[in-house]
Amino acid sequence: MKSYWKKGRKQKLIIVFGSVLLLLLLFFLRDDYQPILLFIRKYIFLILLGGIFLAFAFRAFRHSETFFKRIAYLALIAGVFFAGWYVGWKLELYEYMQTYNVYNNLDKVEIDELPLTTNERIQPYNNILTMAYESISETQEVSLPQLVRVDNENKWTMAVQPAQEYTWQRVNDNTEEVFSVESTSPFPRFSNENRIPVTFSIGESLAFSRNTYNAVVQRFNIFQLFNLEPSEVFYMKNDTGAWVQVVSLIKWKGFFFPYPTFGGVMIIDSGEHNFNDYVERMTIGKGLYVSPDQMDNYPFLRKQNTLAEQISKLQAESLKFLAGFSDPLPWNMETAVKIPDLKDDENTQPYVTDFIFDDVDNTAFNGLYHWFGLEPIGEERTSLAFSVFVPADGTQKLYYYNHAAKKEGLAGVSAMPLKVIESKKEYDWDNNRPVEFRPYIKHIGERKRMFVLGTVTAKRKDSKKFDGSATPDLALVDVQYRDVIWIDAKHPSSWEKTIYNQMAEVWSTAEGLNLKSENTLEVKATDTITNTKAIKEALQAIARDSIN
């Protein structure tokens, strides 16, 4: 380079121009090469270890005097890297160590009783997505539905945005609408007041600098480029009532086997962009960064759903280390658990659920949580081992209830589809599937009882998705007694009464309680009426005999 610089003025101009151009490219294209920086950050320990080994190995290779020694060194290098790949990735040792780091740095709280559920959602995730696509035009698509709190109600929100297939619309148009539909209604409507007219000049499907991912990454400083990455996008109202995009951020921590944690959010305001906004978006991106420590300064972010599922899944899986570092290994597995993924269910755990933690733990809030029902690792073992509650607003805590240690003998989510199918054999189960078994915990029959709420949804044979239903059939399964209770989706207020009437006698017999269902009372009343009539008729007969 020095010799080229000294050749003359032309060469100096080329070097200066090339250097400036390279710096400009590095500045403006940082959203394109940031995945490379993240890769280096995630695997920095392995990269350094492999680099040091290669340096010594090639040094020995160059100083070797014979052909056979050089072949031996090359074989050694190939063998070491193959062994590293096999142990680290094939046997998942890298993921094992990463999950162990998550476990060690997680604030875990064991609770002695289950929280109650409230505001149960009725329609499953894929039905909401299907019905949203039934309500838009050809050149539009919807973002993935997210369950968030809007005006103190739990709602599915998603943006109506230009479709990926139409490049001109992605370059030229804005996101003009947001769907906000009730999660507790069996009849979610995608019209009128549930179609919110709001303009976002930055969107998930928009192109170039107007893309949400690009705008957020451009906003990062040099240190954040190595440690943060955008994840899921949520649409909600801020503290002034204006609609905003909230982008959940993942932060990578640690040097040995880095692991993901909640890294705060980036808030993107609505509104059309002028020239100044365009320049800002192109140069330093768009959005307001809110770190995890600053979340309490924004009331609309508290008790909200802003946590990436990638993080909560890893946190829930880390409970397999409760009995120690070596417990998940094949010869131990005392508390080794997994997150069950049902074959026919397109929306896997976690399920965002509204919980009431009153009288359970005073450090927990009432609101939205990511719920997991963990089961033993073996495929044939489908018991419910743990209920895990991860605060959906990114609060660095995890609450868990240990069903296995209490020897409750509850059935897990994996066992539920067959129980529902068995309870109604007359169904066309080739075209219908019981899906999304989420928790339903109520105080019924003198104590808290846990059920799982599943939805029966239609699916055509040639379809890759669930095709949706306006009024789905709902089934509750008592995880202790394994009984299936079919409930009316149109009348949620009657669910507890339906459960009680079906299960009261069973609970009374099994638990020695004095519970009486309405059915029993009706039977007793009928018996009383019948007996009264019989007595009356007998007295009349006696009277006739006396007269005769």
Among 120-134, 234-248, 509-523, 533-547, name the one with the lowest average pLDDT.
533-547
Confidence of residue 150 (pLDDT cuts 50, 70, 90): very high
Confidence of residue 523 (pLDDT cuts 50, 70, 90): very low
The pair of three-digit structure tokens given for residue 240, joined into one six-digit string: 């002034």
User: Mean pLDDT of all residues in the chain?
Assistant: 89
- Report the C-alpha gap between 234 and 307 in whole angstroms: 10
Q: Is residue 539 pLDDT above 50, yes or no?
A: no
Residue 526: per-residue pLDDT: 37
Confidence of residue 273 (pLDDT cuts 50, 70, 90): confident
Contact status, residue 278 vs residue 60, Cβ threshold 8 Å: no
Q: Which position has the higher pLDDT, 461 or 435? A: 435
Nearest to 186 by CA among 124, 123, 130, 127: 123
- Report the C-alpha gap between 262 and 312 in whole angstroms: 9
Confidence of residue 470 (pLDDT cuts 50, 70, 90): low
For the chain, the structural domain boundaries read 4-91, 122-310, 319-497
Q: Is residue 542 pLDDT above 50, yes or no?
A: no
Residue 537: per-residue pLDDT: 55
Residue 525: per-residue pLDDT: 37
Residue 333: per-residue pLDDT: 83
Q: Is residue 220 pLDDT above 80, yes or no?
A: yes
Q: Which position has the higher pLDDT, 283 or 10? A: 283
The two beta strands, 351-356 and 116-118, are antiparallel
- Report the C-alpha gap between 151 and 180 in whole angstroms: 11
Model confidence over 230-270: pLDDT tens digits?
999 999 999 999 999 999 999 999 998 999 999 999 999 99
Model confidence over 89-128: pLDDT tens digits?
888 899 999 999 999 999 999 999 999 999 999 988 988 9
Mean pLDDT for 146-170 is 94
Q: Is residue 196 pLDDT above 50, yes or no?
A: yes
Q: Which position has the higher pLDDT, 459 or 131? A: 131
Long-range contacts of 252-255 (CB under 8 A, 24+ apart): 252/38, 252/41, 252/42, 252/227, 252/228, 253/105, 253/227, 254/101, 254/105, 255/44, 255/45
Contacts for 327 with CB less than 8 Å, ≥ 6 apart: 320, 321, 333, 334, 335, 336
Contacts for 440 with CB less than 8 Å, ≥ 6 apart: 117, 120, 450, 451, 452, 453, 476
498 phi, psi to nearest 5 deg: -65, -45
Residue 466: per-residue pLDDT: 56
Q: Which position has the higher pLDDT, 223 or 428? A: 223
Residue 463: per-residue pLDDT: 63
Model confidence over 40-84: pLDDT tens digits?
999 999 999 999 999 999 888 888 888 888 899 899 999 999 999
DSSP string, 287-351: -EEE-GGGGGG-GGGTTS----HHHHHHHHHGGGGTT-TTTTSTT--SS-EE----TT-SSPSPE
The pair of three-digit structure tokens given for residue 119, joined into one six-digit string: 């505001």
Mean pLDDT for 518-522 is 52
Model confidence over 276-307: pLDDT tens digits?
888 988 899 999 999 999 999 999 999 999 99
Confidence of residue 165 (pLDDT cuts 50, 70, 90): very high
Model confidence over 318-344: pLDDT tens digits?
999 998 998 888 888 888 899 998 877
Nearest to 204 by CA among 244, 233, 181, 173: 233
Contact status, residue 452 vs residue 439, Cβ threshold 8 Å: yes
Contact status, residue 317 vs residue 81, Cβ threshold 8 Å: no
Confidence of residue 536 (pLDDT cuts 50, 70, 90): very low
Q: Give the global pTM.
A: 0.89
Residue 61: per-residue pLDDT: 86
Mean pLDDT for 343-357 is 87
Number of alpha carbons in the 13 Å side-chain half-sphere of residue 279:
3
The pLDDT > 90 percentage for the chain reads 68
Nearest to 150 by CA among 238, 270, 271, 266: 238
Place of tokens 């055509």: 460
Mean pLDDT for 454-474 is 72
